Amino acid sequence: MSGAGRDVPGAVVSLVLLLLGAGSAAPLAGQDTTAGKRVYVKWCAGCHGDTGAGDGPAARFMLPRPRNFTGAVYKIRSTASGQLPTDADLQRAVDDGLPGSAMPAWKGRLSDAERRAVVAYLKTFSAFFADTSQHVTPLTFSREPSSGGGAAELKRGRQFYDSIGCRKCHGDQGRGDGPSAPTLKDDAGFPILAADLHQNWRFRGGRTTADIYRRLRTGLDGTPMPSFSDLIDQKFLTDVELWRLAEYVRSLSPADSAEVRDVIHAPRIAGPLPVAPDDSAWRRVERYWFPLVGQVIRKSRWFAPAVTGVWVEAVHNDQALALRVSWDDRSQSPDPTWRAFEQRVLETVASDDSSTPRAELWPDQLAVQFPRRVPDGMERPYFLMGTATDPVYQWRWTSQPPRAVAGLARGIEQFDTVALAPATQAVYDHGEWRVVFTRALATPDTANDVQLTTGRAIPVAFFAWDGSSGEHGSRMGVSTWYFLALDRPTPPSVLLSPIVAMALTLGLGLVVVLRAQRRGAGV
């Protein structure tokens, strides 16, 4: 009886605590998951699946795969490794999307209420969110030290990059080509790439130094990227030192985001062209970024292009053109150490092949495409390697055998070489290919070779293959048409007119001054 008497207040207390707990945590109460479900089914389930398991009909074409919500494991959080994300973390991913993945930003496409509702709904896919014993406490992030970013600080950052072993996965120069990179898998067993730290616009959690610092603190759960917070707790590294590392990582990418401009300006230089990939003359030439996307038009389609874009620079000397193409590639293919990784990629990314292609030791390849003749109007051949009746002129370079040929492509399948190949020099340097193509502007075979003339907008397009990602044939990264413009020799009138203008300005100025002085003297 006394026992029962003791239990009654106990039960009341528990009930009150339960109600209080439910009120304060309010995991789902008061949030409308019906509305969220409507939004989810319409906009999200195609990739993330009806049950939130990341297995919608489109998922098998994606690498990285869509998030599986059932485990409540999220990459981009403000919380410690293993903790659930905050609502704000989830909201940010929905609102802003995840760069470098198929996840778009939904701000502007869905209303504020819809976006909030879908976050509430996706939390219902895992029991962890309803478990009140889970700690969800954002880490306390320090502010970016105001002193950072100078050469000395970046050098310090680089020291930590080496001493804490970032290079093991991200590589010596940060292009995701470290010795452990070919072995990496995510928690679901899918192949995962160590981030290319030279492409911060593809960082899932954002491109700024502060974003990078936060990823170092929290880690990316579900991936091989660990949290470095324990190092600060154990005084292995100070917080400022972690900021130095973040600053160094940020410094590897361009200061401004890689902006796509349509026209490559090739300045005219006097004397010999820089034919070597590392000729110092290239440092004085502006570079242009062209993104590549998977070839998904013709069979076999390819949804996971390994080369995400190319940097292009060009110069000419009235006689010949030198075109340098640089791109990040984690492997110097053919490379047997990546073969198992390649097999996993081919097994993960569905295509329309009848069976999964077998991993082979393919080379890396690059193609630069021009029309056969520079068009007068806007009419250009079909961008995807021309057609049977309207071929395109291409330079095709392979890493193995290391050479380039020129030829006419009539669609993806047909390529007929022409007599004159461009001269090429290539280097593979810590995850980056730099290849220089050189060719005379005018060639004898005017019927087949594009005749490069100054002052014209010459259509140009790029294609790239990473052999170690299983890319070969139609499995490739493609660009659309852009333009190459070879600067004209400067006509004397261009040089003269500023002088004339300056002389006129000076003369008029003198007249005004003299008049003013004369009037002043008269008073």
Partner 1 sequence: MHKLSVLAVVGVAVGAGVWGLGLAGWTRSPAPQGGATITGKIKFVGKAPPNPVIDMTEEAKCKAKYTAPPREQIVEVNPNQTLADVFVYVDSGVAASYKAPAPAGPVTLDQDGCRYHPHVFGILVGQTLAIKNSDGILHNIKAKAVKNRPFNISQPGVMTSERTFATREVMVPLECNVHGWMHAWLGVLPYPFFSVTGTDGTFTLKGLPPGTYKIEAWQEKYGTQTATVTITGSETKTHDFSFAAK
Q: Judged by CB under 8 A, does residue 84 bind partner 1?
A: yes
Which residue lies nearer to partner 1 by CB, 332 or 394? 332
Which residue lies nearer to partner 1 by CB, 233 or 259? 233
Q: For the CB of residue 131, give the shortest distance to partner 1 in the complex, in Å.
A: 9
Buried b (16+ CB within 10 A) or exposed e, 285-310: bebbbbbbebbeeeeebbbbbbbbbb
Q: Which of 71, 97, 99, 291 binds partner 1 (CB under 8 A)?
A: 71
Q: CA nearest 28: which of 97, 138, 133, 126?
A: 126
Interacting residues of 488 by C-beta distance below 8 A, sequence separation 6+:
268, 454, 455
Q: Which of 42, 109, 155, 168 binds partner 1 (CB under 8 A)?
A: 168
Q: Which of 169, 197, 212, 266 binds partner 1 (CB under 8 A)?
A: 169
C-alpha 44/C-alpha 52 separation (Å) is 9
Q: For the CB of residue 225, give the shortest distance to partner 1 in the complex, in Å.
A: 7
Q: For the CB of residue 170, give the shortest distance to partner 1 in the complex, in Å.
A: 11
Interacting residues of 360 by C-beta distance below 8 A, sequence separation 6+:
470, 472
384, 478 Cβ separation under 8 angstroms: yes
- Cα diameter, the chain: 122
C-alpha 1/C-alpha 292 separation (Å) is 78
Q: Which of 73, 122, 315, 322 binds partner 1 (CB under 8 A)?
A: 73
Q: Judged by CB under 8 A, does residue 183 bind partner 1?
A: yes
Q: For the CB of residue 191, give the shortest distance to partner 1 in the complex, in Å.
A: 12
Which residue lies nearer to partner 1 by CB, 237 or 409? 237
Which residues are registered as beta bridge partners of 347? none
Interacting residues of 55 by C-beta distance below 8 A, sequence separation 6+:
49, 68
What six digits make up the tokens of 507? 């003369």
Rounded alpha-carbon distances, angstroms, from residue 234 to 142, 158, 231, 423: 17, 21, 5, 56
Which residue lies nearer to partner 1 by CB, 122 or 310? 122
Which residue lies nearer to partner 1 by CB, 187 or 413? 187
Q: For the CB of residue 236, give the shortest distance to partner 1 in the complex, in Å.
A: 6
| Of 49-57, 102-110, 144-152, 163-171: span binding partner 1 (CB under 8 A) | 163-171
264, 482 Cβ separation under 8 angstroms: yes
Instruction: For the segment 210-269, give every residue that binds partner 1 (CB under 8 A).
Output: 219, 221-231, 234, 236
Instruction: For the segment 118-147, give every residue that binds partner 1 (CB under 8 A).
Output: 128, 133-134
Contact track, partner 1, 311-330, x by CB under 8 A: --------------------
C-alpha 469/C-alpha 462 separation (Å) is 18
What six digits make up the tokens of 54? 């990341």
Rounded alpha-carbon distances, angstroms, from residue 3 to 8, 17, 27: 9, 21, 34
Which residue lies nearer to partner 1 by CB, 183 or 300? 183
Is the four-CA dihedral 467, 469, 473, 474 of positive or negative sign? negative
Which residue lies nearer to partner 1 by CB, 84 or 412? 84
Instruction: For the segment 423-452, give every residue that binds partner 1 (CB under 8 A).
Output: none
| Of 182-190, 256-264, 276-284, 508-516: span binding partner 1 (CB under 8 A) | 182-190
Which residue lies nearer to partner 1 by CB, 23 or 165? 165
Q: For the CB of residue 99, give the shortest distance to partner 1 in the complex, in Å.
A: 22
362, 465 Cβ separation under 8 angstroms: yes
Q: Judged by CB under 8 A, does residue 187 bind partner 1?
A: yes
Which residue lies nearer to partner 1 by CB, 71 or 149? 71
Q: Which of 33, 81, 208, 454 binds partner 1 (CB under 8 A)?
A: 81
Half-sphere exposure of 389 (CA within 13 A, CB side): 0
Q: For the CB of residue 31, give the shortest distance to partner 1 in the complex, in Å.
A: 22
Which residue lies nearer to partner 1 by CB, 180 or 317? 180
Which residue lies nearer to partner 1 by CB, 242 or 314? 242
Which residue lies nearer to partner 1 by CB, 34 or 133? 133
Which residue lies nearer to partner 1 by CB, 83 or 253? 83
Q: CA nearest 288: which of 256, 312, 315?
A: 312
C-alpha 166/C-alpha 162 separation (Å) is 6
Q: Which of 23, 57, 82, 489 binds partner 1 (CB under 8 A)?
A: 82
Distance of CA 507 to the CA centre of its chain: 55
C-alpha 306/C-alpha 362 separation (Å) is 13
Q: For the CB of residue 223, give the shortest distance to partner 1 in the complex, in Å.
A: 8
508, 339 Cβ separation under 8 angstroms: no
Judged by CB under 8 A, how many residues of this single chain contact partner 1?
33
C-alpha 57/C-alpha 47 separation (Å) is 6
C-alpha 424/C-alpha 406 separation (Å) is 11
- The DSSP symbol for 400 reads T
What six digits make up the tokens of 258? 């890689």
Which residues are registered as beta bridge partners of 261? none
Q: Which of 163, 257, 453, 505 binds partner 1 (CB under 8 A)?
A: 163
Contact track, partner 1, 26-65, x by CB under 8 A: ----------------------------------------
Which residue lies nearer to partner 1 by CB, 233 or 379? 233
| Of 88-96, 164-172, 367-375, 488-496: span binding partner 1 (CB under 8 A) | 164-172
Q: Which residues bind partner 1 (CB under 8 A)?
A: 71, 73, 81-84, 128, 133-134, 163-165, 168-169, 179-180, 183-184, 187, 219, 221-231, 234, 236
